[in-house]
Amino acid sequence: MNKMKLLAEWEYEPVKIQRGYAGRTLYVNVGGFSFKEKPVSEDMKEKFIGGRGFGLKLLWDAVKDTTKWNDPENELVISGGPLCGITQYPGSGKCYTVFISPLTEQTYDSNAGGHFGPLLKFSGWDALEIQGKADRDVIVFIDGDNNKVEIYESPFEDVNAFTVTEALHEYFAENEEDKRNISVVSTGKGAENSYWGCLNMSFYDLRRKAPRLKQAGRGGGGTVFRNKKLAAIVVRKRGIGPTSNNPADLSTLQKVGLKLHKEIRDLDDQQNKMRKVGTPHLNEIMNEYHLLPVHNYKFGQHPEADKIHSEVFGKLFTQGIPDGCWHGCSMACAKAVDGFELKTGPLKGKKVTVDGPEYETCAGLGSNIGIFDPEWIIEANFYADHYGIDTISSGTGFAFVCECYELGFLNKDITNGLELKFGSKDDLMELIHRIGRGDDEFARIVGLGVHRMKKIFAEKYGAPFEVMEKIGMEGQGIEVSEYVPKESVAQWGGYFLTLKGPQHDEAWLIFMDRINKQLPTFEDKAEALHYFPNFRLWFSLVGVCKLPWNDIEPADNVIKYKGIEAAKVPEHVQNYVDLFNAVTGKNITKEELIIQSEQVYNFQRVFQLRLGKGTRKDHYIPLRAIGPVFPDEWEARAEYYDNELKATGIDPEGLTTEEKIKKLQEYRLPQWEQLVDAVYKRRGWNKNGIPTIETLERLGIDYPEVVEVVKKHLKPEDEWEE
């Protein structure tokens, strides 16, 4: 690679990390090539903690009420958090991206592993804030060794992820060993051509001699990235060690970490086998419990699902290599397929290392589109990453397209020659390539997502909007992730009463609700939809991964604890409290941990309100998410659904399947409204889903500008009756 043209540079003073914080954030404007250092106040640390919290605070200060995703003032903020970068506890290399999403038109946050978050912090920055739009493709380089930030003109004609990442690891490293001190954020052409743009964050795998890519997949962060004409963001920092985060109490960190390493070593093989197969251990489990999305969530099970069983992927993944995406992660679930020869597309014939597929990809770009071919899924996974396309949104989006095609709403004339039925492997692969190339009008429409496809298919092709409303699996503008929610009332909330749309990172309550029957009342469900979203949000504030929380548990967890308490994995909750205190020197309790999250949860809710969203009308749910829509869905589990109807007091005898479906919908829709009411009450929101002034005061986030937004929307008729 030739020497890149330097467009701007800025030097900064080095800083020593103190108790998990650099104490300042970095602002880069790629429009005007300006740079700034912003201090992190004690109040910012208290109220926003770090990671996603810092991202939201910086974004709040940067945008106007009217800012859209493609306005120059929209930002892409990347931040790790105070625990990000510790090497003692598994899963501590996460960072969060925050931005206004093209899909949801409100704030979105998406996390990734890899080395970017830790290297950014150890370069002296708690967050990176990118604003503005460049007039040509640029590369931002944070040189943590020489304390400077540089902006280069991008030399890449091909901005796709693997091309850019591989070249920049090579360019900025002095030798092979040095490549591990670098992390690259990239996306690809698919992010330009769709709203599904993901961000790839790299780490260099010395054993494989290849960069690995971890995705902040959801919400269209990659689309924002390319809209700013970013080709890459690169950070380099050498000399990272176990004390780089400068914790207040190193011995506690080591002690807590050792305990979990031992649990993983001793128990993972009996529990989820994360070290061998990663998250695809869920493939057969979800199928068995009727939760694996098949054919656009019509069904939860498929006879061919054994072809994508975790054992199949276990054989395809290279075994025996520690697959942690940050130093010290013994859970090591970042599985990869090595030497995979691509069969299609611009890199046909090339042998590559493919990160994943994860469970969500196996389901999204697999069962949900009627494909049960692991090699196809791996190829689709590779190109989705390479083009910078989210595998979850594209999987659910393609599933919607396939159902529309099979219903006759689309045909080959519309799709420009593609037969997009469930299981059409060649044509669905070609659709991925068309999004990557951006040369096909229909592919561009698909890439706008299910929410917009419904409207465009109706207006342009005469497809019936009311049917697509029922089967289009999206909420708040973004596609549902890959679990069938229709049989769990609590999971309706886990998906559709969320801050940013149906992503499973708030609450996954299907077992607790549906199988364990631990949430019999709406108040029970609301309590779970208060605790779990707040508990899980905390990971995003501090920079740790969710998986070591409950994808491994102490051997005696279900002996010492009972019921919902056991599901919280109390000893691991205590680990997080201890870790936070050991790093920061503070002394929080497990109850205060939840309050930290509640502060940010409610702030983000008000932020959505400020951007014109964030009220009850935005918490809508498609009919397919609450039950069968078409007779074949009912008939695939006729006995089960007949019993569901009987449980509501309706005798299914003598009813047609269509009548049964209608009766069940008539029963379940009011249940949804009851759930919404119960959850809003528990969260301290009014009937319209707006946090009350009392809630803001209780959480100490009653900043004048926050209160002002809320006051504009409070109405007496939305108050709860005593």
Partner 1 sequence: MIKVNGEEMQWRPGLTVKDILEAKRYIFPMIGVWINDKPIPRDKFETTIVNDGDDVKVIHMICGG
State yes or no: residue 284 binds partner 1 (CB under 8 A). yes
Nearest to partner 1 of 109, 551 (CB atom): 551
Residue 344 CB, nearest approach to partner 1 (Å): 30
d(CA 342, CA 169): 22
Out of 70, 246, 516, 648, point to the residue binding partner 1 (CB under 8 A).
516
d(CA 523, CA 267): 35
Out of 163, 252, 254, 271, point to the residue binding partner 1 (CB under 8 A).
271
Nearest to partner 1 of 569, 621 (CB atom): 569
Instruction: Quote the longest CA-to-CA distance of the chain.
Output: 78
Contacts 24+ apart (CB under 8 A), 426-430: 428/369, 428/371, 428/380, 428/398, 428/402, 429/344, 429/345, 429/376, 429/379, 429/380, 429/383, 430/344
Residue with tokens 């409303």: 469
Nearest to partner 1 of 288, 441 (CB atom): 288
Out of 385, 474, 487, 551, point to the residue binding partner 1 (CB under 8 A).
551
Handedness of CA 693, 50, 187, 226 (dihedral sign): positive
Out of 96, 317, 483, 641, point to the residue binding partner 1 (CB under 8 A).
483
Q: Which stretch binds partner 1 (CB under 8 A): 128-136, 264-272, 373-381, 410-418?
A: 264-272
Q: Which of residues 560-599 bind partner 1 (CB under 8 A)?
A: 562-563, 566-567, 569
SS3 676: helix
Q: Are 30 and 132 in contact (CB under 8 A)?
A: yes
d(CA 161, CA 212): 11
Q: Are 315 and 297 in contact (CB under 8 A)?
A: no
Residue 551 CB, nearest approach to partner 1 (Å): 7
Q: Are 314 and 277 in contact (CB under 8 A)?
A: yes
Out of 106, 215, 244, 272, point to the residue binding partner 1 (CB under 8 A).
272
Out of 2, 175, 251, 270, point to the residue binding partner 1 (CB under 8 A).
270
Residue 25 CB, nearest approach to partner 1 (Å): 28
Indicate the helix (H) or strand (E) that contains 26: strand 24-29
Residue 687 CB, nearest approach to partner 1 (Å): 29
State yes or no: residue 517 binds partner 1 (CB under 8 A). yes
Nearest to partner 1 of 432, 490 (CB atom): 490
State yes or no: residue 660 binds partner 1 (CB under 8 A). no
Residue 271 CB, nearest approach to partner 1 (Å): 5
Q: Which stretch binds partner 1 (CB under 8 A): 334-342, 370-378, 506-514, 684-692?
A: 506-514
Out of 6, 206, 258, 515, point to the residue binding partner 1 (CB under 8 A).
515
Q: Are 417 and 443 in contact (CB under 8 A)?
A: no
d(CA 179, CA 452): 41
Out of 75, 355, 553, 642, point to the residue binding partner 1 (CB under 8 A).
553
State yes or no: residue 559 binds partner 1 (CB under 8 A). yes
Which has the closest alpha carbon to 196: 35, 396, 32? 396
Give the contact letters, 526-545, x = binds to partner 1 (CB under 8 A), - = no.
Answer: ------x---x---------
Q: Which of residues 124-153 bind partner 1 (CB under 8 A)?
A: none
State yes or no: residue 17 binds partner 1 (CB under 8 A). no
Nearest to partner 1 of 188, 293 (CB atom): 293
d(CA 62, CA 486): 39
Q: Which stretch binds partner 1 (CB under 8 A): 48-56, 283-291, 393-401, 467-475?
A: 283-291
Contacts of 716 (CB under 8 A, 6+ apart): none
Handedness of CA 666, 668, 672, 677 (dihedral sign): positive
Secondary structure letter of residue 515 according to DSSP? I
- Cite the beta strand spans of 197-320 per DSSP E: 199-205, 210-216, 230-236
Nearest to partner 1 of 284, 427 (CB atom): 284
Out of 121, 295, 504, 668, point to the residue binding partner 1 (CB under 8 A).
504
Radius of gyration of the chain (CA): 24
Nearest to partner 1 of 289, 680 (CB atom): 289
d(CA 117, CA 343): 34
State yes or no: residue 558 binds partner 1 (CB under 8 A). yes
d(CA 59, CA 69): 12
State yes or no: residue 334 binds partner 1 (CB under 8 A). no
Residue 175 CB, nearest approach to partner 1 (Å): 38
Would you put residue 229 in left (φ > 0), alpha (ψ -120 to 50) or beta?
left
Q: Are 506 and 540 in contact (CB under 8 A)?
A: no
Nearest to partner 1 of 18, 550 (CB atom): 550
Number of residues that bind partner 1 (CB under 8 A): 34
State yes or no: residue 254 binds partner 1 (CB under 8 A). no
Residue 526 CB, nearest approach to partner 1 (Å): 17
d(CA 180, CA 603): 37
Residue 665 structure tokens:
């919908």
Indicate the helix (H) or strand (E) that contains 95: strand 95-100
Q: Are 473 and 485 in contact (CB under 8 A)?
A: no
State yes or no: residue 484 binds partner 1 (CB under 8 A). no
d(CA 66, CA 74): 10
Nearest to partner 1 of 445, 509 (CB atom): 509
d(CA 484, CA 510): 9
Nearest to partner 1 of 211, 543 (CB atom): 543
State yes or no: residue 644 binds partner 1 (CB under 8 A). no
Q: Which stretch binds partner 1 (CB under 8 A): 18-26, 281-289, 580-588, 679-687?
A: 281-289
Nearest to partner 1 of 180, 568 (CB atom): 568
State yes or no: residue 512 binds partner 1 (CB under 8 A). yes
State yes or no: residue 511 binds partner 1 (CB under 8 A). yes
The 10 Å Cβ neighbour count of residue 570 is: 15
Question: What residues line the site for partner 1 (CB under 8 A)?
Answer: 270-272, 282, 284-285, 288-289, 483, 504-505, 508-512, 515-518, 532, 536, 546, 550-551, 553, 557-559, 562-563, 566-567, 569
